[in-house]
């Protein structure tokens, strides 16, 4: 068993950390206040190969392993604590990979190169106003009409709605067909018949979240992933990959919070000595660090399993992969939230100011607690199902 990174992986990690320290940290406050990731940040990410990393080189990506992508996600989460850049990163990486795996050749050649170059956005649209956890109950309909699919319905809380409109691009969209079951289609946002709405979020302000309404929107049949009726299964495959990168970004955010906190408690004094000398604070740090370290390796292992099986299309270890990914998505966001919250408290009143640079992290990570990339209870349902068997699922 090898825990060391290879020389190439280490070099890439260092480059991603430099990018996080020099570019993302410099921009994170304006990303949060201006509600967008500046184009120069996206072009730097593209230059470093940080957009849609696992997409094969033939379609503009770098054909990165899940482990390398997970390492980069950690650095992006550490660099921009607001999580906006991490969301952009992981959507392109996870769903770009899925498109490269299951898209038609024409769709891959058309859609992926601009995504990898930061010139188009690619996201995922599954959630609807009536719910996101119970995907099977979704109402958006698609029907085949010759060389096209026609969509009717509504999606909500979708990340990147504005970016896809402004930059170009769209979302892998799950819909139901009366004839064949679920379809997973790439739907460009500028398609006639689509209207969008932007929601007012509390965090990760640099990437929009909004609604999409489809009024008989027509997309070419070449935009279908896999075959008709396989959409549900493909969406779950994409979630498995994307959730690993979400968790890695949370690990990066947690580490940054602890580093910020350690620097502070070394310097700040109370009752005649540094805060870090009080066991009440020191033990809290140690407990948090230990949990982050555990989640970090859990996350690395999940990525390793993706490389060993999922990315190769090997479903023989499906349950092991599902358990690894669901458990890390269950643990990484809460520990990141807790680290940021505790460090804010070590700062005392200063922690409650924007100058401390922590509150944007709390607001960003909260998105993963309420549901982004699947709610915590959904991770528990997946784990319960994998541990006890499908017959123990509380719903059909």
Ligand X SMILES: Cc1cc2nc3c(=O)[nH]c(=O)nc-3n(C[C@H](O)[C@H](O)[C@H](O)COP(=O)(O)OP(=O)(O)OC[C@H]3O[C@@H](n4cnc5c(N)ncnc54)[C@H](O)[C@@H]3O)c2cc1C
In the complex, the residues that contact ligand X under the rule CB under 6 A are 123-127, 131-133, 157-159, 201, 209, 367, 370-372, 374-375, 377-378, 381, 394-395
Coil, helix or strand for 273? strand
**How would you classify residue 17: left for phi > 0, otherwise alpha for psi between -120 and 50, otherwise beta?**
alpha
Between 19 and 182, whose beta carbon lies closer to ligand X? Answer: 182
DSSP state of 53: T
DSSP output for 150-211: EEEEEEEEEETHHHHHHH-EEEEEEEEETTTEEEEEEEETTSTTEEEEE---SS-TTS-EEE
**Least separation in angstroms between CB 290 and ligand X:** 27
Between 126 and 247, whose beta carbon lies closer to ligand X? Answer: 126
**Least separation in angstroms between CB 366 and ligand X:** 8
**Least separation in angstroms between CB 372 and ligand X:** 4
| Closest CA relative to residue 161, chosen from 170, 152, 153 | 170
Query: How far apart, in whole angstroms, are the C-alpha atoms of residue 163 and residue 56?
Result: 23
**Least separation in angstroms between CB 374 and ligand X:** 6
Between 91 and 275, whose beta carbon lies closer to ligand X? Answer: 91
Between 80 and 284, whose beta carbon lies closer to ligand X? Answer: 80
State how far the alpha carbon of 118 is from the alpha carbons of 46, 47, 168, 267, in Å.
6, 9, 10, 41
Cα torsion for 200, 45, 98, 174, to the nearest 10°?
Answer: 20
Tokens 């999922």 correspond to what residue? 310
Between 131 and 181, whose beta carbon lies closer to ligand X? Answer: 131
Beta bridge partners of 196: 212
**Least separation in angstroms between CB 171 and ligand X:** 7
DSSP state of 61: S
**Least separation in angstroms between CB 393 and ligand X:** 9
Between 126 and 260, whose beta carbon lies closer to ligand X? Answer: 126
Between 55 and 378, whose beta carbon lies closer to ligand X? Answer: 378
**Least separation in angstroms between CB 14 and ligand X:** 30
**Least separation in angstroms between CB 123 and ligand X:** 5
Strand pairing class (121-125; 169-177): parallel
Between 79 and 123, whose beta carbon lies closer to ligand X? Answer: 123
| Closest CA relative to residue 53, chosen from 81, 105, 94 | 94
Spatial contact of 258 and 287, defined as CB atoms under 8 Å apart: no
Between 188 and 374, whose beta carbon lies closer to ligand X? Answer: 374
Number of helices (H) and strands (E), helices first, in the chain?
Answer: 12, 9
**Least separation in angstroms between CB 57 and ligand X:** 27
State how far the alpha carbon of 182 is from the alpha carbons of 79, 141, 378, in Å.
38, 9, 20
Rg of the chain (C-alpha set): 21
């Amino acid at each position: 068993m090898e825990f060391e990174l290879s020389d190439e992986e280490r070099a890439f990690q260092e480059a991603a950390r430099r990018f996080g320290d020099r570019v993302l940290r410099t921009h994170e406050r304006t990303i949060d206040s201006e509600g967008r990731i500046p184009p120069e940040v996206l072009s730097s990410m593209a230059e470093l190969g940080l957009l849609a990393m696992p997409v094969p080189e033939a379609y503009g990506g770098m054909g990165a392993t899940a482990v390398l992508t997970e390492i980069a996600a950690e650095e992006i989460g550490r660099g921009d604590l607001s999580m906006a850049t991490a969301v952009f990163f992981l959507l392109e990486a996870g769903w770009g990979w899925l498109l490269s795996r299951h898209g038609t050749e024409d769709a891959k050649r058309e859609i992926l190169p601009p995504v990898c170059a930061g010139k188009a956005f690619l996201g995922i649209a599954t959630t609807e106003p009536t719910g996101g956890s119970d995907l099977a109950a979704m109402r958006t309909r698609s029907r085949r009409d010759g060389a096209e699919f026609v969509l009717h319905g509504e999606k909500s809380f979708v990340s990147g709605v504005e970016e896809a409109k402004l930059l170009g691009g769209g979302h892998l969209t799950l819909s139901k067909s009366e004839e064949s079951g679920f379809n997973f289609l790439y739907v460009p946002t500028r398609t006639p018949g689509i209207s969008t709405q932007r929601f007012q979020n509390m965090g990760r302000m640099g990437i929009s979240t909004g609604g999409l309404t489809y009024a008989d929107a027509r997309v070419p049949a070449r935009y279908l992933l896999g075959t008709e009726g396989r959409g549900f299964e493909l969406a779950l495959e994409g979630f498995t990959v994307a959730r690993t990168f979400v968790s890695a970004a949370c690990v990066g955010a947690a580490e940054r919070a602890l580093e910020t906190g350690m620097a502070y408690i070394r310097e700040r004094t109370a009752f005649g000595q540094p805060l870090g000398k009080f066991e009440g604070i020191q033990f809290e740090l140690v407990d948090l660090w230990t949990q982050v370290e555990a989640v970090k390796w859990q996350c690395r292992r999940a990525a390793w399993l993706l490389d060993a099986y999922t990315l190769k299309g090997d479903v023989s270890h499906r349950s092991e992969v599902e358990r690894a990914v669901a458990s890390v998505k269950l643990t990484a966001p809460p520990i990141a939230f807790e680290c940021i919250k505790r460090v804010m408290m070590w700062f005392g009143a200063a922690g409650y100011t924007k100058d401390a640079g922590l509150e944007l992290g709390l607001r960003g990570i909260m998105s993963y607690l309420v549901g982004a990339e699947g709610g915590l209870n959904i991770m528990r349902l997946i784990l319960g199902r994998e541990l006890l068997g499908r017959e123990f699922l509380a719903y059909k």
